[in-house]
Structure 1
Amino acid sequence: MIAFIVGTTAELIKISPVHHELVARGRAVEIWYSGQHVEELAGTLDDLGLPAPQVWLVPRESARNIARPADVPRWVARLAGTVVRRRADLAQRLASDGTPPLVLVHGDTFTAPLGALVGRALGARVGHVEAGLRSGNLLHPFPEELNRRVVGRLADLHFPPTPVEAHHLRRRRGVIVTTGANTVVDAVRYALARPGRHTVQLPEVYAVATLHRFELVRREDLYRQALEILKEYSRRVPIIYFAGASERERLEQYGLLDVFDAEHFRIEDKLSYVAFLPVLAGAQFVVTDSGGLQEESAHLSIPCAVHRAHTERDAGEGRTMVLTRLDVGRLRAFLEDPQRYRSSDAREDYTPSATVADAIDALL
């Protein structure tokens, strides 16, 4: 049996096409949920056509969103306690269909190394989807870069998106299968094929922005500077800034909610994935610090500025994407003429989720 051990909405988005592909091939598949994100779970599952998690690795009734680094130790302890208590039951579930047990983890959240450890503890092979991404700096982003490297040492099956990431794994044990692109491209296709409803009033021409990473928002000066630059350039093209509850709390803490207005630089609540993708697809450009949004913008050939010090993804770099390295001069240069980064080289020929499923069929 195959168990996806995931815990965030971003992981659910990117494993969903792999899940659908494996189920279509008759594989026994379950979702085991770590509970990093809880509040958004039901809507995300409905959006993506996924079943409810068959296993909760933390007590479901008391699960809460992991919003701060201080929440992590207690969450890890609860997850470890569940696995220890249910070890025999979980191992039996993995062996229930008579096929070699496989645990699949994704990306670089805390759940990825924990899920890999759980898989190893239960005697399963471990596969890592979106493997091999490296920023080259252990502290940027932290802890994501460390999480990726830990999983790289634990996994038996590595699924890097491109030869660049495969090269990073050349000294790792196990089987390496390059998928040609990130599984997010399949998720984008799925979402755009069944657009969700949203209540955001969109101007005829607009751009999209999101900023949420700890390395930026923990620095009031850098966060304020970026928002003020976006406000300045929103006079040319209206910018819709999507923010979740934690970002709004930080904006209120810093007294930055007054930066936004109703006409040019609007703040809106985050949308579900299926509702957000059509909004993204219509944007003139994107400013973000999200690796996932960087990937989606590259696939849709939308000009994108990634406002981060480092990125582990080269998707679109130099063609549809600019890495600002938190340099406001680079951000301004992008905003002066974002359309020079518009391209039409979206890679429609890749179906990475099918490649993952093909490899699993061949290896198990």
Structure 2
Amino acid sequence: MNAFAPPLPGCRILVVFGTRPEAIKMMPVLAALRARPGLRPISCATGQHAALVADVLAEFGERAEIDLGALPPGSGLPLLTGYLLTAVAGAIAAARPDLVLVQGDTLSAFATALAAHQAGIPVGHVEAGLRSGDLANPWPEEFHRVSIDAMAALRFAPTEAAAAHLRAEYGRGQILVTGNTGIDALFRARRTGVVPVAIAPGRRLLLVTAHRRENWGAPLLRIADAVAALAARGDVELVWPLHPNPEVRDAVTRRLAGVPRVHLLGPLPHCDSVALMRAASLLLTDSGGMQEEAPALGCPVLVLREVTERPEVVAAGAAEVVGTTTEGILAAAQALLEDPSRLAAMARPVFPFGDGRAAERIAAGIAAWWEARCSASA
């Protein structure tokens, strides 16, 4: 853990992130918290995706005031959960925050919320209220997000639908609809990125990402088989930036390395990922964040999962949920590629996840909560 000076008086907020998507979505929040008088954010990196988070911090000109170091490699979920719970508990004890702020549904977010709850520290949950209704999909994220919301004192819902889930479960409580901070980060990143591969003239770019734990193994190989079949069309090129986890990287590389018109890349800066989405004719992904970002860029989405906790993107006409069978993915992609009018209709930019000001609303909500808390204790 890095040494750091004791925070100044005011509302001390431990802002915790461990994965690349968490870090991207928390960077606008950090900036918004710093801009409000009386709020004192302290950034903390758990090390779940240590190298990827370091790249995000560098891209945003940030640093982690508390860095818990990289997680031990090769450990299963129970050991990683215990490790993170213990490490974050130490950070909470050192920082003495008035509020612990987590984002989304990762193992880092869950362990942090649990550590804060056990320490009697209020929890704020950014991106609260998402639900698939199935604890096995996505696994283990659905359980994480439900559990975090149960422990949270402040629930920042990205959409009205997410807020409705929270009201049904907890009553009105401290629920604020803010939009998604991923859109805040997207608006910043879209000004600077570059497409990292050259696509031959006359061919359309298809962007692929898949990394979720429930898709490891057979589902990931079926996705890779669909990519190989699409590449055989000859009029498209597929770009797949690979997650560095060996369960993903090694399996996909074994199946697709050397396949013509398939470009396997390493992890990219956020701004270059955004540039790829802007250039793509179609996105095939199991990523939650990309389901939020792509509609704002006018990039049609095929969701490589059995269910999505972001139904707003489907209702907006920007995405279809197609599952993970090779045949289903291939049929859905071929149908869109052969129907220009339908593809164009899906490519109209829509903004179901906000206007790029979510972080401001979160900071304002925390400031109001802190003022009320101080008034009550006066």
Shorter-normalised TM range: 0.7 to 0.9
2:180 is matched with which residue: 182, 192, 212? 182
Any runs of at least 4 consecutive aligned residues in structure 1 with deviations exceeding 6 A, and if so which? none
Displacement of 1:108 after TM fit? 0.5
Between the two proteins, the alignment pairs up a number of residues equal to 342
Contact 2:26 2:181 in 1 (8 A): yes
- Cα deviation per residue 1:20-64 (whole Å; 9 max; x = unaligned)? 1111224211112221111223211011222x22223x4x3xx24
In 2, Cα distance between the equivalents of 1:149 and 1:186? 24
Correspondence list, 1:117-156, <5 A: 117-156=114-153
Mark the CA change 1:358 to 1:83 in structure 2 (over 3 Å): closer, same or farther: closer
- Cα deviation per residue 1:98-123 (whole Å; 9 max; x = unaligned)? xxx11110101011121112222333
AA at the equivalent of 2:48: Q
Specify the SS of the correspondent of 2:79. helix
Displacement of 1:202 after TM fit? 4.1
Q: Which residue of 2 aligns with 1:20?
A: 31
Mark the CA change 1:360 to 1:86 in structure 2 (over 3 Å): closer, same or farther: closer
In 2, Cα distance between the equivalents of 1:10 and 1:271? 12
Displacement of 1:316 after TM fit? 2.1
Residue 38 (str. 1) matches residue 61 (str. 2): no
AA at the equivalent of 1:244: H
Displacement of 1:330 after TM fit? 5.6
In 1, Cα distance between the equivalents of 2:280 and 2:217? 27
2:61 is matched with which residue: 49, 53, 58? 49
Contact 1:307 1:324 in 2 (8 A): yes
In 2, Cα distance between the equivalents of 1:209 and 1:356? 32
Q: Which residue of 2 aligns with 1:353?
A: 359
Unaligned runs of 5+ in 1: 95-100
Mark the CA change 1:164 to 1:279 in structure 2 (over 3 Å): closer, same or farther: same
Displacement of 1:286 after TM fit? 0.7
Of the structure 1 ranges 111-120 and 130-139, higher mean CA displacement relative to structure 2 is found in 111-120
Contact 1:152 1:172 in 2 (8 A): no
Specify the SS of the correspondent of 1:141. coil
In 2, Cα distance between the equivalents of 1:230 and 1:65? 38
- Among all aligned residue pairs of Structure 1 and Structure 2, give the percentage whose two residues are the same amino acid: 30
Mark the CA change 1:89 to 1:215 in structure 2 (over 3 Å): closer, same or farther: closer
Contact 1:5 1:103 in 2 (8 A): yes
AA at the equivalent of 1:73: P
In 2, Cα distance between the equivalents of 1:199 and 1:149? 37
Q: Which residue of 1 aligns with 2:9?
A: none
Question: TM-score normalised to the size of structure 2?
Answer: 0.83
Specify the SS of the correspondent of 2:236. coil
- Cα deviation per residue 1:65-99 (whole Å; 9 max; x = unaligned)? 76x6x4333333333434555664332xx2xxxxx
Displacement of 1:323 after TM fit? 0.5
Contact 1:208 1:285 in 2 (8 A): yes
